[in-house]
Amino acid sequence: MKKPYDRKLILEDGTEYYGYAFGDGEDKVTEIVFNTSPVGYQEILSDPSYTYQTVVMSYPLIGNYGINSDDFETQTPTIGGFAVREYNDFPSNWRSEKTLSEVMKEYKIPGIYGIDTRKLVRSIRDYGSRRCLLTGMETTAEDGVKIISRAPILTDAVAKVSRKKITEYPADGEIKIVAIDCGMKQNIVRSLNRRGVSVTVVPFDTSSEAIESLKPDGIFISNGPGDPTDAVPVINAIKDLKGKYPIFGICLGHQIISLAYGAKTYKLKFGHRGGNHPVKNLATGKIEITSQNHSYAVEAGSLKNTPLTVTHVNLLDGTIEGIECKKDKIFSVQYHPESAPGPQDSSYLFDKFINIIKENKNA
C-alpha cells in the first residue's frame, strides 16, 4: 500500500507537487531552478551559488552514493532545498560517511522526493524560474501563494556566503594571488595550489587598497550566488584594480568584470545549470563541454562601448561565455573550469592565468 504524501511544493502560480519529506522539515520560500547533471549532487548541495534556491534534479535517482567529507565545495552549505524523483537513503559507496538526508538535516536544508520532476523541469523551462514554497500537506495552494508573495526577495546572497576573514592556502611556487570570495568553491583553490600558486582568499567587501597591500601577482574573482549588480563592493574594487594586475574571473566573477567595465547583465529565463553545456572557443574553434550554474548573463550589445572582446559563446543559446581585455591582462569565463565534465576541456584557463602572471612579472 502506498504511503500517504507528507510534503508538497507550491509554485507562486499555485501549482502543487505532492511528495515525501527528506532532509529538514522546515517550511521555506526559495527560487526554483533545475540541474541536468546525472552525478555531483554533493557538489551541488555545497555550492554557494545555490544560496536561496531549491534545485530540481532532472536525473531521477539521487542519494545513491551518499556523502563524504572530501567532496564539499564549502563546509557550510547554503542551498535552499532539493526536489528529486527518487531518493536513496541506503547508499552503496566505500567513500560514503553519511546519507544526503542526514547532511541536509544538519544544515537545515529541506527536501522533497517522489514528485514528477520531468513535469516540473518542463514547467521551469517553459515558464521560467519562479519562487516556490516547500511545506506540509496542511498548507493549501491559496495559502502557499500568499506566503510566497509576502516573503521578502533577498539580495544579500554574496554577503551571506563570503568568508569573514582572510584565509591563506600556501603552495610551493613563487606566484601569489588574491582570490575575492563571492561564494568560492574549494576546488578552485585546489586547482591553483596544484599548479604551485599560493592563494590568499579575502572577503567580498575587501577594498582595493587592502588587496593591493597584500602585494599579489594576480587577482581572481570567484563564482557566487544572486544578481551580480548586488555585489557592489567587488565591482568597485575591480574598477580600481583593472589594468594594474592580471585578473581572472569565473561565473559571477565574469559578470562582475563586465559590470566594472560598464557593460550590463540580465537574468536568463531559467539559467544554465548542468555538466554538459557546449561552449565554443572563438580563438581556436574548439568546443568545450562545460559545467555551469548561473542565472545571469552579460548583455552582448552592452560590450560595444567597452574594451572587452568576446572569446567564448554558448552553442545552446548564443549567450556570452567568455570575455577578455588583453591590454589590461584581464579575462573571464561564465562556466567552471575547476569542474571536470569534459573532463579537462577547460583546465587550460588556469594555465593561461598563470602564464599571463609570469609574463607580467618578467616584463
Active-site positions read: 251, 336, 338
288 within 8 A of 275, measured Cβ to Cβ: no
Read out DSSP for 53-116? EEEEESSSEESTT-B-TTS-SSSS--B-EEEESEE-SS---TT--B-HHHHHHHTT-EEEESS-
Please name the amino acid found at residue 312: H
236 in Cβ contact with 258 (< 8 Å): no
Bridge-partner residues for 210, per DSSP? none
Kindly list the distances between the CA atom of residue 214 and the CA atoms of 3, 105, 178, 262, 304, in Å, as whole numbers in the listed order.
Answer: 59, 39, 8, 27, 34
Residue 99 region, left (φ>0) first, then alpha (ψ -120 to 50), else beta?
beta
Q: What is the DSSP letter of 151?
A: S
Beta bridge partners of 7: 19
CB distance 133 to 110 below 8 Å:
no
How many residues belong to the chain?
363
CB-based contact 247:219 (threshold 8 Å)? yes
CA-based nearest residue to 160, from 48, 1, 25: 48
CB 259 within 8 A of CB 345: no
From the list 54, 47, 6, 5, the residue with the least C-alpha distance to 29 is: 54
